[in-house]
Structure 1
């Protein structure tokens, strides 16, 4: 049997979490669902830049690099090895939102075009999803909303779990004939219950992008040595300069191809005459991702890393982030699209249920017995959540202080 007073207390906080979060969650669900179609949307728009007509003999990669660099305002940092004869060669500068790509026709050795994520409509969708178009302040709001989503899920699971009298049939019950309020309430609870695990997995994939939690998580990875191994990015590695004849880009492409890496293979160019060539691959099968560092003069392998060399927290983080973006093939894509649609429906049903039951001229916060005292276990859980998710902890303190001053005012 559930504790009735505890159930009511959880219901109160579930309500507060919903009031804070649901309108924003609907935006995140909608934009997240749209962003899943990023590649489908951009592919036809970028096809004239990424694909070329296969005619004649290909120019050397070194010659193509010179053309690409002449059309780039900043130094190019890496090259993506083409996987087909009809592909333009991509040279990249910058990373993440600052990434820019220059594409060269390998047959004519001329500029095929440029692509910048900032020029895409999907970039706006991503900005809306990640920061509500409000910059750093917006990322804090999204992080706060995501934190309260955890409260919604955890309290919702307890509230919805049926009593002994109701039985497990309540977990599949959707009542159509008891009014709109009951229908929306059942839809909200039923769908929320059955997708709760997927929602938690989706949140786990989104939190690493946040400012406060994300920064703390990276710090924790560092102190526990569970992130990328030292040297993964090639920092601190130097080539042994025996002469001024560095390997050509074409020679490095041959070395990279001989590695027979899965997926897309990229070559990171040396930043100066002392640094190294780095080769890595990107593939949906994270276990097959590898990274190699080569002396830019002798071509000698300095260091090789496998995905198993990466710390457990980083491996978990990257897995959940890829899952969040639907990158593990069609099934993962379909699951994440379902989660986005389900989350929007859950949020909308919750708001409609509230509107139907809301007392006139009142917010309608559920009342809890004044005699009820929260157990130490619950207090400890809230404290832990407040430490792990600092913005959530700060918001709980503000709510508690607000309630305290309201009681003083009424006294």
Structure 2
């Protein structure tokens, strides 16, 4: 034993602990710096998304999306759907009538969606008298306005790309925020789970910021992924194409070049995510199975009767054919508020000439990703009931608080009169930097816009900001 001790002197534990402490501090500062810079870009976008989200939750759950909820006095007999359709045609002879929704309750109006001079309008019809009792332009409602901002910032594809980058960088905020939150320096888990409300000033804000950020992190991650799945690059290019329902599963029906997505109205997504890129069938062939029995007229009346016969027993809608090769489409889904849960999603296409059913797809036919998105979007929009509405409202308020408190903490930390950002210091000689670059390259493959943005920022930091004196000072 004595020989072994002589040949192997004891380790310098103090030096080891000092090295470990220094490494931990470097990682902490690096995480804080990334958290700070990601927040600079993300905060304005997250504020916009949270505020517009609150507006949409309100009109989606408490009011109505487009102000179309009009009540009527119930009578003994309703007029036929074709009679109501004729009234709308006479009132708007130059309009294209795209959709009909039977009265969802005995004291509610029937709804027609028309396009007149490029403007989408909802026409409310008394189902007992076939009189028009109200109209509203969808594009002018608060819900549509908030939805357009929420999806594209009112600047089209550029806005979509900026939001996609912001959502991806928020994932970085979550990861770095959780690392900063993790208990250290002798603190136990219980000490960081409950904020110390006795703190004052910036420390009080930090306690709330850290605790609220931790508790909503999982929900925020879920909202980001479900939102990114709708974004143009990650969702539209990478995820949605291989997750969509394959129209080839229908029995060799002729397919259009148009997809289900044409039934969406502008900024508002009304077609289930898993069907948006699926091609529509065409009318005019002999294929399909019996839908409308032979001898019956194929019109809006028979479509309503068929819908009831094949299981559409609650709220549903019928898209009318708008071209010689178009089809009748009967649908009900949670994304439109027709069903309480997405498991009740159902879409059926009928040939406008033969009345045969050309294709059917329900929730059980969706891919795993499409099912996940159907549930995710319903939760994202607050469609699953009052508990969902309350949860989403609280979540939006929490996001607003995180954004505002983050700005206030930065402002309170800045020295008076500082003419620079006062960013967290960059650690010198950061170890494992090659691993960080490798992770960012992987991130570029998974989330292209986010990865490219991170690599660009890293290149600017190393090649420009750290080498030009006045830029280096401004971003310190």
Q: Structure 2 length as normaliser, TM-score?
A: 0.76
Hey, what does 1:235 align to over in structure 2?
280
Q: Which residue in the other structure is 1:137 paired with?
A: 158
| Residue 183 of structure 2: aligned partner | 162
Shift of 1:160: 0.9
**How has the CA–CA distance of structure 1 residues 175 and 120 changed in structure 2, closer, same or farther, with 3 Å as cutoff?**
same
Contact 1:387 1:393 in 2 (8 A): yes
Partner of 2:419: 361
Aligned: 1:30 with 2:51: yes
Among 240, 250, 254, the alignment partner of 1:221 is 240
Partner of 2:80: 60
- Residue 300 of structure 2 corresponds to residue 249 of structure 1: yes
8 Å contact kept, 1:234–1:293: no
- After superposition, the C-alpha distances for 1:64-95 in whole angstroms (9 at most, x for unaligned) are 1122233444321221122323222212246x
Task: Describe the SS at the equivalent of 1:52.
Answer: coil
For residues 244 and 279 of structure 2, the distance between their equivalents in structure 1, rounded to whole angstroms, comes to 15
Contact 2:79 2:127 in 1 (8 A): yes
After TM superposition, give the deviation of residue 15 of structure 1 in Å. Answer: 0.8
Contact 1:293/1:303 (CA < 8 Å) preserved in 2? yes
Contact 1:79–1:267 (CA<8 Å) still a contact in 2?
yes
2:397 matches 1:341 = yes
1:259 aligns with 2:279: no
Give the equivalent residue in structure 1 for 2:33: 12
Q: Is the 8 A contact 1:241 1:297 kept in 2?
A: no
What is the count of residue pairs matched by the alignment? 404
Which of 340, 353, 363 aligns to 1:307? It is 363
Does the aligned pair in 1 maintain the 2:52–2:147 contact within 8 Å? yes
1:407 and 2:466 are equivalent in the alignment: yes
Using a 3 Å threshold, how does the CA distance of structure 1 residues 281 and 183 change in structure 2: closer, same or farther? Answer: same
Say yes or no: does 1:276 pair with 2:332: no
**1:36 offset after TM fit, Å?**
0.8
Structure 2 residue aligned with 1:291: 347
Structure 1 residue 55, shift from structure 2 partner: 3.6
2:456 aligns with one of 376, 398, 402: 398
Segments of 5+ residues of structure 1 without an aligned counterpart are none
* Equivalent residue for 1:200, pick from 214, 217, 221: 221
Q: CA deviation at 1:259?
A: 2.2
The answer to whether the 8 Å contact 2:328/2:349 transfers is yes
- What stretches of structure 2 of length at least 5 have no aligned partner? 1-19, 251-274, 288-293, 334-338
CA contact (8 A) 1:90 1:101 kept: yes
Cα displacement (A) at 1:33: 1.6
Larger RCO of the pair (alpha carbons < 8 Å, separation 6+): 1
8 Å contact 1:276–1:295 — kept in the other structure?
Answer: yes
**Kindly tell me: are residues 228 and 93 of structure 1, through their superposed partners in 2, closer, same or farther at Cα, counting changes over 3 Å?**
farther
Measured in 2, the distance between the counterparts of 1:392 and 1:100 equals 38
In structure 2, the residue matched to 1:316 is 372
1:107-126 aligned within 5 A: 107-126=128-147
Query: In the alignment, does 2:458 pair up with 1:378?
Result: no
CA positional deviation for 1:40: 5.5
**Per-residue deviation, 1:273:** 4.8
The CA deviation string for residues 230-251 of structure 1, in whole angstroms up to 9 with x for no partner, is: 1666723334479998513212
Q: Secondary structure at the match of 2:360?
A: strand
| 8 A Cα contact 2:109 2:126, kept in partner | yes
Q: Is the 8 A contact 1:227 1:312 kept in 2?
A: no
Partner of 1:69: 89
C-alpha contact 1:33 1:340 (8 A) present in aligned 2:
yes
Pairwise CA distance, 1:164: 6.2
Pick which of 292-301 and 317-326 moved more.
292-301
Aligned partners of 2:444 and 2:452 also within 8 Å: yes
Q: After superposition, what is the alpha-carbon deviation per residue over 1:80-133, rounded to whole angstroms, capped at 9, x for unaligned?
A: 122323222212246xx9643222222322222222221213333333333334
Aligned partners of 1:375, 1:331: CA distance in 2, in Å? 45
SS in 1 for 2:316: strand
The CA RMSD measured in Å over matched residues stands at 3.0
Displacement over 6 Å in runs of 4+: 241-245
Q: Partners of 1:35 and 1:367 in 2: how far apart?
A: 40
The corresponding residue for 1:50 is 70
- Asked if 1 retains the 8 angstrom alpha-carbon contact of 2:281 and 2:359, the reply is no
Cα separation, 1, equivalents of 2:142 and 2:104:
27
